[in-house]
Structure 1
Amino acid sequence: MEAHKQSQQSGELSFARADKSTLVVRLVGDWHLRHGLPSAALVEKQLDAAPKPTRLTFDAADLRDWDSGLLTFLIGISELCHKRKLPADWSPLPEGVRSLIQLAEAVPEKTGARAEVSHSTFIEELGHEAISYAQGLDDFLRFFGEVTIAFAKLPFGKARFRRVDLMIIIQDCGANAFGIVTLVTFLVGVILAFEGAVQLQQFGATIFVADLVGIAMSRDMGAMMAAIIMAGRTGAAFAAQLGSMKVTQEIDALTTMGISPLEFLVLPRVLALFLMIPLLCVYSDCLGVAGGALVSATMLHIPLGTYLRETRAAVTLTDIFGGVFKAAVYGIIIAVAGCLRGFQCGDSSSAVGDAATEAVVTGVVYVIVACGIFAFIFNVIGI
């Protein structure tokens, strides 16, 4: 069987031979025009393949939602069959589809009625991208709601997952991530201090480098850098793990056994990242301050004790706990994005890599959006 997949959210098209003379066109999934659909040229290629079929039929057992895009595709197949005088069996299709196809074939097309195909304009492309992002946000929010329902079962002990899996994921999200978090956040502190020192030296206010680094790291940069690191490291890993399980049909096996994949696979991952990112955020804050202290001691000749006292005077508990709260939210966003892309993974090995890439992009974009929202809200309430 040869399969053709347009995208993770659009319909799938595959072919089979019931016998040497009958070509079976199998329609799977949601066939929506806004997602992009396979071309009838794929069917034409199969009709020309040896041995050439003398009859065409359909398999629509796994066809779900559809719109006019499916009708356009089927009418294109109908035209191919008419040109080749090839009989087509439309009976396996849904009744509504058959009725519309019969109506389209009963009324002949007027000469010149079909518009010439033109290239998409910038506005059209922009509209398609906006619809795609809106659909992606809708999928994210739906999946987030399902995860929230699974979380509601956790306090009552009704969520089914293995505690050992949670411990393994916590180790991977926490202790195993210390190395990369140490390197990146320390360098961020060094960069912030260096850039601040260059400007503050002009006013003789170099001591305020401690304020700059301490406040920036505790309020935003510590949580943000930890989240971006975990999106690229752990979010992609979640998508790849769940994508591989989907390709090997392990997720379908869990469903068959009556075990919720959301509870068994997603819940421990979200919980682990929710618990570990706040700790990594505090660790990032300390490393950023240490990086600033290094620059202050070597470039500005500020004693370590003076630097730490100035940092302690500038940074408040509100700044620290605000950053920790942001980090916890970022952790949920990254975990949900990674698991969602894993569940949306296609059925091929290459789709696993695509899912991991999309998980990183989705996680980072949503984290930055959340950071902007937090900045606005915290400013309004005066934090």
Structure 2
Amino acid sequence: MAEADKAQAQLAWAGLQDGAAVLRLSGSWTLAARKPDLLVVWRSLADKPAALQLQVEALEAWDSSLLALLRRLQRLADEEQRELRHDDLPEGVRRLLRMAAAPAAEEREELPRFGPVSRLGLLALHVRDALVEACSFCGEVLLALGRLLRGRACLRRGDFWTALMQCGPGALPIVALIASLVGLILAFVGAAQLEAFGAQLYIANMVAIGMTREMGALMTAVIMAGRTGAAYAAELGSMQANEEIDALKTFGFPPLEFLVLPRLLALLVSMPLLCVFADALGILGGFIIGAGVFDISAPLYLNQSLELIGLADFLLGVVKSLVFALLIGLIGCHHGLACGRNAQAVGEATTRAVVRIIVALVVSDALITLICTQLGI
């Protein structure tokens, strides 16, 4: 109790000095000290001059209580339109007061407005930088693959098998569902046209060719883009935001070999298998429509499908699936490693990765189809 009585804060009017009313502050201004009522002290001087002078004497200790007092005192002076001077405050108190008086958020500088030519130039520079960065990343991945072939890459087999289980067997249910529905849709669309000519049997031809050459590989790739490509971007982006990749570099583990190669190799192994699986289920979906709606017998449907499908058609779908696997792995991992250092950046990187993967899939599929058409494949 004696210590509490000793630790007191003093605040009282002390006359006039150079035309200004002096408000004397002394003692210990801490949370534990007993403090006078500011409103009572303020109202005790009825006729206040236009200027007020805060005089600090024998200030033993202070903390945030003193800052709160000064802020309240400044508001009272502003309400009565009086000038408050506090030149003899400790330097630390004055610095904190300036920080408290500063606006919470600084006004943002107005961005310059560019004309159409300038915007076009900036877009060209942005595209150039993105292409250079992408080419550099692909080159580093190729070098890492070369080290892997020489047996010098830092790659753990456990990481590869974990990634393979995630993008292989883990994707079978959704691939099975989508491939079956695509086969059903192709059969329905073809039947609507072929029924007018009494050529329902050729539903098998259309479904078999459409699934093996185009839809099997493309639909599987789109599913893997939303499922695996987004997961790669989010996983690596979270590691980048949490500085785990920096920790790997500090300990001498190359991120490309340790993180990218297992995921890329897992996609290269699983995508052709998933493509073949999707082809089979798509043909099965077409058979359900052919047999259930148009009474095409199972042997006749299968013979019609196998007669039309050649080895070139089957291999074309497998080659497309390999190209799509490369695009999904490279784009997803690249956006994950290029992610920013916060949660918002992880979401943005994942969104950009999925969008660019799908665009790359469609463009590459169109180019491969155009080349094969020109070559007569």
Report the TM-score, using the length of structure 1 for normalisation: 0.68
Give unpaired runs (5+ residues) of structure 1. Answer: 1-47, 54-72, 78-115
Could you say which residue in structure 2 is the equivalent of 1:260? 254
Comparing 373-382 with 156-165, greater Cα deviation is found at 373-382
Could you say which residue in structure 2 is the equivalent of 1:215? 209
Could you say which residue in structure 2 is the equivalent of 1:43? none
Of 239, 242, 249, 2:243 maps to 249
Residue 137 of structure 1 deviates from its aligned partner by 3.6
**What SS does the corresponding residue of 2:151 show, helix, strand or coil?**
coil
The reply to whether residue 199 of structure 1 matches residue 215 of structure 2 is no
> Are residues 190 and 284 of structure 1, via their aligned partners in 2, closer, same or farther at CA, if it must alter by over 3 Å?
same
Residue 267 of structure 1 deviates from its aligned partner by 0.5
Distance 2:300 2:126 in 1: 53
Deviations 1:135-154, CA, capped at 9 Å, x for gaps: 43433232112111111111
Of 329, 332, 356, 1:338 maps to 332
Of 122, 145, 148, 1:151 maps to 145
The reply to whether residue 276 of structure 1 matches residue 259 of structure 2 is no
Comparing 233-242 with 290-299, greater Cα deviation is found at 290-299
Could you say which residue in structure 2 is the equivalent of 1:356? 350
**Amino acid in structure 2 at the alignment position of 1:270:** L
RMSD: 2.4
Deviations 1:239-269, CA, capped at 9 Å, x for gaps: 1110111111110011111111000000111
The reply to whether residue 302 of structure 1 matches residue 296 of structure 2 is yes
Deviations 1:285-322, CA, capped at 9 Å, x for gaps: 00110111011112221112111110001111111011
Distance 2:291 2:299 in 1: 10
**Amino acid in structure 1 at the alignment position of 2:213:** R
Distance 2:99 2:352 in 1: 36
> Are residues 254 and 119 of structure 1, via their aligned partners in 2, closer, same or farther at CA, if it must alter by over 3 Å?
closer
Distance 1:52 1:174 in 2: 57
Residue 161 of structure 1 deviates from its aligned partner by 1.4
Could you say which residue in structure 2 is the equivalent of 1:324? 318
> Are residues 291 and 250 of structure 1, via their aligned partners in 2, closer, same or farther at CA, if it must alter by over 3 Å?
same
Instruction: Give aligned-pair identity as a percent.
Output: 43
Deviations 1:319-342, CA, capped at 9 Å, x for gaps: 101110110111011001000010
Could you say which residue in structure 2 is the equivalent of 1:174? 168
The reply to whether residue 367 of structure 1 matches residue 364 of structure 2 is no
Distance 1:310 1:127 in 2: 56
Distance 2:309 2:99 in 1: 72
- How do 1:1-383 residues align onto structure 2 when only pairs under 5 Å count? 50=100, 132-383=126-377
**What SS does the corresponding residue of 1:154 show, helix, strand or coil?**
helix
Deviations 1:22-62, CA, capped at 9 Å, x for gaps: xxxxxxxxxxxxxxxxxxxxxxxxxx964659xxxxxxxxx
> Are residues 293 and 241 of structure 1, via their aligned partners in 2, closer, same or farther at CA, if it must alter by over 3 Å?
same
**What SS does the corresponding residue of 1:161 show, helix, strand or coil?**
coil
Residue 126 of structure 1 deviates from its aligned partner by 6.4
Distance 2:233 2:284 in 1: 34
Distance 1:257 1:176 in 2: 32
**What SS does the corresponding residue of 1:158 show, helix, strand or coil?**
coil
Residue 223 of structure 1 deviates from its aligned partner by 0.6
Distance 2:121 2:224 in 1: 32
Residue 273 of structure 1 deviates from its aligned partner by 0.3
Distance 1:304 1:128 in 2: 60
Give unpaired runs (5+ residues) of structure 2. Answer: 1-97
Could you say which residue in structure 1 is the equivalent of 2:85? none
Equivalenced residue count is 276
Distance 2:292 2:121 in 1: 53
Residue 127 of structure 1 deviates from its aligned partner by 6.2
Deviations 1:108-162, CA, capped at 9 Å, x for gaps: xxxxxxxx965755x7666655654454343323211211111111121111011
Distance 1:199 1:142 in 2: 49
Residue 277 of structure 1 deviates from its aligned partner by 0.3
> Are residues 305 and 366 of structure 1, via their aligned partners in 2, closer, same or farther at CA, if it must alter by over 3 Å?
same
| Higher Cα Rg, which structure | 2
Distance 2:124 2:293 in 1: 48
Distance 2:372 2:123 in 1: 31
Report the TM-score, using the length of structure 2 for normalisation: 0.69
Distance 1:317 1:271 in 2: 25
**Amino acid in structure 2 at the alignment position of 1:171:** M
Residue 380 of structure 1 deviates from its aligned partner by 2.0
**What SS does the corresponding residue of 1:153 show, helix, strand or coil?**
helix
> Are residues 124 and 202 of structure 1, via their aligned partners in 2, closer, same or farther at CA, if it must alter by over 3 Å?
farther
Distance 1:49 1:229 in 2: 53
